[in-house]
Amino acid sequence: MDKFTLEGVSVSEGIGIGEIFILQQENFIINRSSIKENQINEEIAKLELAIDRTLYEICDLRDELRNRLERQESLIFEAYKSILEDRYFIQEIKDIIHDTMCFADNAVDICIKGYIKAIEDSHNDYAKQSIYDLNDICTRIIKNLNGEPENKGNIEKIYHKQIVVLKQLTPSIAAILGKKKVMGIVADGGISYLSHAAIILRGLGIPALSGIKYDEANRFKSKMAVIDGGQGKLIINPLKPELDHYREILKNNIRKQRYLFWKKNKPAMTKDEHRITLSANINSIEECDVVLDNRADGIGLVRTEILFINHSKMPNEKEQFAAYTKIAKKLKDKPVIIRTMDVGGDKVLRFLNSESNLSHQYLRGLERSLANKEEITVQIRSIIRATEYGNISMTFPMVNRAGEIKEVKEMVETIRMKLSDEYKKAFPKVRLGAFIETLSSLRHLDEILQEVDFISIGTNDLLQEFLARDRKSQELGNSEYLHPDFIRMIKGCIEKACHYEKHVTVCGEMASDVRSSVILLGIGATDLSVHPLKISKLRESFRKITMEEAKNLASRVIKSSSIEGVRKILTKSIGNG
């Protein structure tokens, strides 16, 4: 058979060589008939057993992949676990069984479909990413209710030297295929660059494409193929020179990883010795060791909502103070920026699933915190007290307007004075910052900058709002943040911060990606905060380019009219990263 190439959308970069395996995913049938009153307790018992079984499966997947995933990616399983342990969620399904006299599988479907409709009606594009997860949970519970084996189909026949083609990719199937260490994944649907399934695959280093029709790929069952995640291609029956070329790339990637390990002690600077600050984002105290091991310049973001994700109630001042103090002591004199809890919207922690929080369930970030004064007061007290033990600053998530910052600044100052009286010693003023990650914050940026000491640009959430607004841009894949308009947006933000002489850090996927980080450097972002395991690779990439080259590259990119144009410029200038 001759060579044939299928074009798709990249959701996880990398190269994979293997035989094509077609995964068969069988549908399940929901029992829509009614039950009798004497069957209610039996259906509720079946539901509880199915949820326990589903919880066990999720924990098993998490434990299997724990040593291969970064902390942030592993938390996807914690989110699943949190839902399955949510007593309000379980009670709602039980109520449906009792009130409508339906079978448990039907009740699960009704309940979760109700959640999905609410998310769709909210027009919150960020929250819509969780629809994949809810559908996944729904499927797993119903399969366990019906006594069907996990992932019924031919998934057990898959082994590691294969490229798997399937119709719909869910986070749990991504994890199962990750356990099998497959060469690559090609999905018809159910996956976008920012979906949890894609995040898991990127964390595992498995190349993946979406948007390739299942029926079309099905024709090439058992054929040798190359998946090129960077170029968005599935090459069936590649010619020998092409196959040798990709095999050489795989060998070089292994060499690069060894070289980066050796170079990690070198400071981050450009070829012409312009210094770049590379800080780390952390989710746990344990990650401080990884930060220090990778020679980060500090911690640019402590995600406190993730620090306490498994707590059944809001951590008290003693618990929070202990956590922040441990981080500060580990980092010694290196800067640590602690962000107050970013919850609400699609981020719901176990201790927030209470009736007292229902009225604020659609708020997020600083707005939500200001509506829950007791919670943020405890957190501010803890952070101010921890400043004795390190170089700590405080920042606030999802800031929309300067008025929010003014209000919380007054709170911080009042709390600081009370603490000074209470402990009979003067607590110094804390540097305060704002996370710029909404279009509203950009509209009010001048006023916000006049109220803070520094800002951090959260590219992930800002990108979600940008894409929701700019519907004419429907190009998906790993290059959304390469849209020229989005880059111009970030550049304008950096320039305003410089105008007000305020420090600015860029966080998120955009800062972590080698190619887009060079663009950020060129538009004035010399302070990036990324996952600690990304630091060595970024440090090495900056050593290959001068500051002038980065500026020239950024200038050309900004003048481009499309993501594709930007991609071509980058490929020609610095390759595929």
* Domain CATH for 217: 3.50.30.10
pLDDT at residue 474 above 50?
no
**Residue scoring higher pLDDT (445 or 217):** 445
In a domain, 569, yes or no: yes
* Conformation bin of residue 140: beta by default, left when phi > 0, alpha when psi is -120 to 50: alpha
User: Which of 211, 237, 263 corresponds to the end of one domain?
Assistant: 237
In a domain, 441, yes or no: yes
User: Which of 110, 145, 180 corresponds to the end of one domain?
Assistant: 145
The vertex-129 CA angle with 162 and 64, nearest 5°, equals 45
Specify whether 41 is located in the same domain as 109: yes
Specify whether 418 is located in the same domain as 507: yes
Specify whether 185 is located in the same domain as 311: no
Confidence of residue 372 (pLDDT cuts 50, 70, 90): confident
Specify whether 41 is located in the same domain as 185: no
Length of the chain in terms of residues written: 577
What's the rounded mean pLDDT across residues 99-120?
Answer: 92
Tell me how far apart the alpha carbons of residues 532 and 281 are, in angstroms, rounded to a whole number: 7
Mean pLDDT of the chain: 85
Note if the pTM is more than 0.85. Answer: no
In a domain, 10, yes or no: yes
In a domain, 97, yes or no: yes
Specify whether 412 is located in the same domain as 447: yes
Specify whether 385 is located in the same domain as 520: yes
In a domain, 457, yes or no: yes
Tell me how far apart the alpha carbons of residues 472 and 336 are, in angstroms, rounded to a whole number: 40
User: Which of 193, 212, 237 corresponds to the end of one domain?
Assistant: 237
- CATH number of the domain where residue 59 is located: 1.10.274.10
Q: What is the pLDDT of residue 253?
A: 73
Specify whether 414 is located in the same domain as 519: yes
**Residue scoring higher pLDDT (233 or 126):** 233
In a domain, 432, yes or no: yes
At 144-155, the pLDDT tens digits run 898 765 445 578
**Residue scoring higher pLDDT (360 or 569):** 569
Range of the domain at 78: 37-145
Q: What is the pLDDT of residue 93?
A: 95
Confidence of residue 104 (pLDDT cuts 50, 70, 90): very high
CB neighbours of 503 closer than 8 A, spacing ≥ 6?
Answer: 453, 454, 455, 497, 527
In a domain, 84, yes or no: yes
Domain count, the chain: 3
Is residue 291 within 8 A of residue 283, CB to CB? The reply is no
